[in-house]
Amino acid sequence: MTGKLIAYTNARLLDPATDLDRPGGVLTEGKTILDFGADLFKDGVPDGAEVIDCSGNCLAPGFVDMRVQLREPGEEHKGTLASAGATAVAGGVTTMACLPNTNPVIDDTSVLEFIARRARKIGLAKVFSYGAVTKGLEGKELAEMGMLSEAGAVAFTDGVKTVSNAKTMRRALGYAKNFNLLVVQHAEEPSLAEDGAMNGGETATRLGLPGIPAEAEVIIVARDIRLAEAVGGRIHFAHISTADSLHIIRKGKERGVQVTCDTAPPYFSLNELSVGEYRTFCKLSPPLRLEADRIAIIEGIKDGTISAIASDHDPQDEDAKRLPFAQAAFGGVGLETLLPISLNLYHTGEMDLLQVIKKITCDPADILNLPAGRLVKGAAADLTIFNPDIGWKIEPDNFASKSKNSPFDGRPVQGRVLRTIVDGRTVFELDN
């Protein structure tokens, strides 16, 4: 059965996977991309097709976010699958991977299947799930990674918890290798990070806050690269925040270790001084680091050491943030700010537009082996139309997210999503 024809005309086509950046159009039929290209509509649009004039704006594959916390099931007061889906498509994200730290934990196929069913029913951004590395995220007994993978888990992580026991991590990497699975680590040595509230150093001392030293991240990165090298497994580090971690990852890559990493917008656009006078919205995990680390993260994105930019969407309710800094919850929402903050790398001349968009489309999709992030004939019609130059101010109260805890509150930015299409359906359109 054929579906409705829609012609997207007068677009600036962007497909980072093939270095495509030129004027053109896209034709969709039902849920799929029928065709695209520079001269697609030179003889006019097909009879009966609905025309959507992109007015010269960018048309790219829908964005892929590889690190999102949904909060459903278990913490619906912070966020739901519906609110996460709404805030995702408002940010141009059509595919996202959710962490397993739900309640109950995604260490069982029934929870994974529940999330998949709910996401399909809601019909906004597509949701893929990580499986837990260890049962209950307790860092002791391995979860049934093989069964979870068969049920659709895209990779394995203990979410915001570090698999801190080296023997357990070695076993996980070895087991994952047998199934060609990816293990994703939140790199933070718990005993060094315990009771810490922000980056360790002079600023923390001046503010009278307990610090989390950079070594907490670096030690786990160094250890797990050695373990992956020993067993031949695949390791990915989430939200890398320090220059020293990047140095170790580069050395690991040079030795042929199967290691990748991502970062999140706060780590290349903010530093520890953003905490200011105890701004709890800037209490993140890992913490905001030194300016030298921020610059190093930008270099890591530019040279490819960092393969992807993820939103690290971590919704917290107001009560959890309106506390003294040391007691406030870690985390910031990020789905609606993923594009404009990432585009700052383009507007400052650090990277060209295709290079930036690559980090939020095909690169994260490749890491997780997801069918997304590319313009491909016959593929799902998941598209994002955006203007990279529109200026606006981030006002979290206007977010579709249930929680509003953004570290970018009040920041002027450039770049706005105008329309988001999932399976050929417009699921978000910016109000004029």
User: Residue 432: which pLDDT band, with cuts at 50, 70 and 90?
Assistant: low
- Helix, strand, coil abundance in the chain, percent, nearest 5: 35, 25, 40
Q: Looking at the domain covering 62-368, what would its CATH class be?
A: alpha beta
Count of C-beta atoms within a 10 Å radius of residue 152: 14
Per-residue pLDDT, 206:
96
Q: How much is the average pLDDT of 161-172?
A: 98
pLDDT at 118 over 60: yes
Residue 65 falls in the annotated catalytic set: no
Q: How much is the average pLDDT of 67-87?
A: 95
User: Residue 3: which pLDDT band, with cuts at 50, 70 and 90?
Assistant: confident
Q: How much is the average pLDDT of 242-266?
A: 98
Q: Write down the domain spans for the chain.
A: 5-59+381-429, 62-368
pLDDT at 1 over 60: no
pLDDT at 242 over 90: yes
Q: How much is the average pLDDT of 305-329?
A: 96
Residues 65, 107, 312, 366: which is the catalytic one? 312
How large is the angle between the packed helices 291-303 and 243-254, nearest 10 degrees?
Answer: 30
Per-residue pLDDT, 19:
97
pLDDT at 134 over 80: yes
State the chain's mean pLDDT as an integer. 97
Distance of CA 308 to CAs 189, 279, 354, 355, 423, Å?
23, 27, 13, 11, 24
Q: How many residues does the chain have?
A: 432
CATH topology agreement for domains 5-59+381-429 and 62-368: no
Per-residue pLDDT, 130:
98
Q: Looking at the domain covering 5-59+381-429, what would its CATH class be?
A: mainly beta
HSE-CB at 282 with a 13 A cutoff on CA atoms is 21
For 364-403, how does the pLDDT look when each residue is reduced to its tens digit (9 = 90+)?
A: 999 999 999 999 999 999 999 999 999 999 999 999 999 9
Which residue from 45, 43, 41, 48 is spatially nearest to 23, judged by alpha carbons?
41
In angstroms, rounded to a whole number, what is the distance separating the alpha carbons of residues 183 and 190? 18
Which region among 1-15, 152-166, 222-236, 312-326 has the lowest average model confidence (pLDDT)? 1-15
Q: How much is the average pLDDT of 205-224?
A: 98
Distance of CA 229 to CAs 142, 169, 260, 406, 414, Å?
20, 12, 13, 37, 41
Higher pLDDT, 334 or 39: 334
